[in-house]
Amino acid sequence: MKRMNIVDRFISYTKINTTTNREKGAAGIMPSSEGQRVLAKQLVQELEGLGLQDIKLRDTAIVTATLPSNLDYDVPTVAFFGHLDTSAEQTNDTKAQILPYTGEDICMNKELNIYLRKSEFPELENYLGDDIIVTDGTSLLGADDKAAIASIMDMLQYFKQNPEIKHGTIKVGFVPDEEQGLRGAKVFDVQEFGADFAYTLDCCGIGELVYENWNAGDVEIVFTGKSAHPMSAKGKLVNSLLMAQKFIAMLPGGEAPEYTENREGYYWVKQMSGNSARTVLKMDVRDFTEEGYRSRMAFLKKLASHCEDLWGPESVTCTLADRYSNVYNSLQGENRYPIDIAHAAYQACGITPKVIPMRGGYDGAALSQNGLPCPNIFTGAHNFHSIYEYLPVKSLYAASDVLKQVVQITAERFKPGANA
């Protein structure tokens, strides 16, 4: 079996355009882009070449596979997840290149004068002397999340080529359309999959470790006014656009994305459309605590009710929906061990864990909510969703090394008599 270099593997994945398609996703099509299916099929071929078992490719482009245990005792089954799609901010094909970082600004595209400047991205100094993978500045790199896929595949290759290294059962899952509200993870059949705990790789620089994210909700508020011709509108016209504006003005000042950070929650006025007769307002609600999240959702419901009392029956309707919950809710008590194993794996690799709350969602939130506890490990990349996305080569190797340690630590930690 020929060993494939992790960098070559990653770059081969970037050559497949897997940009998520928001229009098709909104129409319920999964995967939303054909490139995701192409990548899924390539992964199936690679998994077959590695000799994995129970390989499945579903109509949704979800891929799963199993590397059986070589232990003579039982340990919990660990799984690793990456997502197939890249964000829709840029749709061009990726032209990845590997450039050395010598301390100067990195020229990504001389003709278009596109540079990765250390004045804008000072964390580059941490990678002095390293090789950096970037694009030509006309697309995303797609390390979100193809660096994860490359790391997972490299980890599998390592254990297949070193059968003397003991490990429990390892499962892998690759899912579509994470960039559209975790669509693939939400339909993933956790029970059929059969893992006991899991990790996604979907955060940034080396050392980052996430096991806390938003409780997230969607809100739609419909304002119904009364139409009238402006020549005779006095006392008759009720402008729904102005109703929506007044509603927005009554939201708590300063509790919006542009004013908040760390664990501060917010209301995000995301979209407003309509006319004087009917206006639809869409909002996102985010809070790290369950209590805070429920309080925010209840506040909007109450505010809508008060506005309806003011403007008349059926003038305001409010629909609330939960999107995903904080993964931390699923990692308490006896389910905390995936966090402890991750910390131990980082330390075994000489990496100091940088525990951060994620002001967003990731597939692990949906998987955890469905019964599969799932913290989030770094990919090593920076500047997700930007043409300035970059991936230090040593960080890519480090991500794979952490996965290898997770597997080996699990085998040792649950060995009979290990805790005696």
Residue 246 domain-assigned? yes
Task: Looking at the structure, tell me whether residues 22 and 167 fall in a common domain.
Answer: yes
Burial class of residue 386, CB neighbours in 10 A (0-12, 13-18, 19+):
middle
pLDDT per residue as tens digits for the range 110-159: 999 999 999 999 999 999 999 999 999 999 999 999 999 999 999 999 99
Task: Looking at the structure, tell me whether residues 90 and 228 fall in a common domain.
Answer: no
pLDDT at 237: 81
235: pLDDT strictly greater than 90: no
Task: Looking at the structure, tell me whether residues 41 and 122 fall in a common domain.
Answer: yes
d(CA 316, CA 223): 5
Task: Looking at the structure, tell me whether residues 311 and 396 fall in a common domain.
Answer: no
Q: Which of 256, 291, 323 is the last residue of a domain?
A: 323
Structure tokens at 367: 């998987």
Q: Give 278 or 181, the one with higher predicted confidence.
A: 278
Task: Looking at the structure, tell me whether residues 109 and 149 fall in a common domain.
Answer: yes
Parent domain of 51: 6-212+327-414
Task: Looking at the structure, tell me whether residues 104 and 227 fall in a common domain.
Answer: no
Q: What's the CATH code of the domain at 303?
A: 3.30.70.360
d(CA 338, CA 292): 26
Residue 420 domain-assigned? no
Q: What's the CATH code of the domain at 179?
A: 3.40.630.10
pLDDT at 2: 55
Indicate if 178 belongs to the active site: yes
420: pLDDT strictly greater than 70: no
Task: Looking at the structure, tell me whether residues 39 and 179 fall in a common domain.
Answer: yes
Residue 138 domain-assigned? yes
1: pLDDT strictly greater than 50: no
Structure tokens at 240: 């729904």
Asked if residues 345 and 405 have their Cβ atoms less than 8 Å apart, the reply is: yes
Check the annotation: does 385 bind a ligand.
yes
The catalytic position among 178, 212, 287, 389 is 178
Check the annotation: does 202 bind a ligand.
yes
Residue 223 domain-assigned? yes
**Cross-strand bridge partners of residue 355:** 209
pLDDT per residue as tens digits for the range 72-118: 999 999 999 999 999 999 999 999 999 999 999 999 999 999 999 99
3-class DSSP state of 67: strand
pLDDT (average), residues 183-209 = 96
Residue 141 domain-assigned? yes
pLDDT per residue as tens digits for the range 27-65: 999 999 999 999 999 999 999 999 999 999 999 999 999
Task: Looking at the structure, tell me whether residues 228 and 265 fall in a common domain.
Answer: yes
Check the annotation: does 167 bind a ligand.
no
Of 4, 6, 3, 2, whose CA–CA distance to 397 is shortest?
A: 6
Confidence of residue 181 (pLDDT cuts 50, 70, 90): confident
Task: Looking at the structure, tell me whether residues 317 and 331 fall in a common domain.
Answer: no
d(CA 364, CA 357): 13
The mean of the pLDDT values for the chain is 95
Check the annotation: does 290 bind a ligand.
no
Residue 51 domain-assigned? yes
Residue 1 domain-assigned? no
Q: Which of 273, 308, 323 is the last residue of a domain?
A: 323
Residue 419 domain-assigned? no
d(CA 281, CA 269): 8
pLDDT per residue as tens digits for the range 245-300: 999 999 999 999 999 999 999 999 999 999 999 999 999 999 999 999 999 999 99
Query: Following DSSP, what letter does each residue of 110-127 receive, concatenated?
Result: TTTTEEE-TTT-GGGGGG
Check the annotation: does 144 bind a ligand.
yes
Asked if residues 149 and 173 have their Cβ atoms less than 8 Å apart, the reply is: no
Task: Looking at the structure, tell me whether residues 382 and 283 fall in a common domain.
Answer: no
**Cross-strand bridge partners of residue 222:** 280, 317
Q: How far apart are the first and last CA of the chain?
A: 40
Number of compact structural domains in the chain: 2
**How distant is the alpha carbon of residue 285 from its chain centre?**
18
**Cross-strand bridge partners of residue 283:** 219, 269
Q: Which of 289, 323, 357 is the last residue of a domain?
A: 323
- Residue 412: which region, alpha, beta or left (left: phi > 0; alpha: psi -120 to 50)? alpha
Task: Looking at the structure, tell me whether residues 207 and 246 fall in a common domain.
Answer: no
Task: Looking at the structure, tell me whether residues 81 and 167 fall in a common domain.
Answer: yes
